[in-house]
Structure 1
Amino acid sequence: MSTTLCLTRDELTELCRTSRKAGQVAFLRLNGIRHYLDAHGWPVVTRAAVEGQPEQAQASGTWKSNKAAA
């Protein structure tokens, strides 16, 4: 297992079977793989998005008002 947070360009090309930006973005959207676009329009995919690792859970709690009851 790699220790990098995101897939490399080569890994992304292998996953999507294309080296074109538009083709990669289309593949990721079609298959529901979470990603974002960097400043140059290239898709960025985290390893957790494709390896099935659970994302960090957000703290769940009940809402309590900090305003004193009148």
Structure 2
Amino acid sequence: MIGSMFLTPEEVGELTGIRVGRAGRTRDQLQVAWLRTSGIPFWTNARGRPIIARAAIEGQRSTEQPRQKWQPNFAVSG
């Protein structure tokens, strides 16, 4: 089902703890700011609402091993 691919607005509210706007900022603006500081990947739609892929929260459901980030080896002298 395509609707379950993304978190619902209610689920985004539960995740962020932000369900209403305040201090001159909309709910969506506050949620976007919280998601950015939390490092959760998301998109904003044309209305400014944060869209979060369910896979970003639940994790990838594959047997493929995650790729390790490249790190320099300072122990090797040149």
* 3-state SS in 2 of match to 1:27: helix
For 1:53-64, what aligned pairs fall within 5 Å after superposition? 53=60
Tell me the residue number matched to 2:15. 15
- Opposite residue 28 of structure 2, the aligned amino acid is K
For 1:1-70, what aligned pairs fall within 5 Å after superposition? 4-19=4-19, 20-53=27-60
| Separation in 1, partners of 2:61, 2:4 | 16
Instruction: Give the ranges of 4+ consecutive aligned residues of structure 1 lying more than 3 Å apart after TM superposition.
Output: none
Normalised to the residue count of structure 1, the TM-score between the two structures is 0.69
Structure 2, unpaired ranges of 5+:
20-26, 65-78
% identical equivalent positions? 41
- Opposite residue 48 of structure 2, the aligned amino acid is G
| Larger proportion of helix | 2
Alpha-carbon RMSD across the aligned residues, in angstroms, is 1.9
Normalised to the residue count of structure 2, the TM-score between the two structures is 0.62
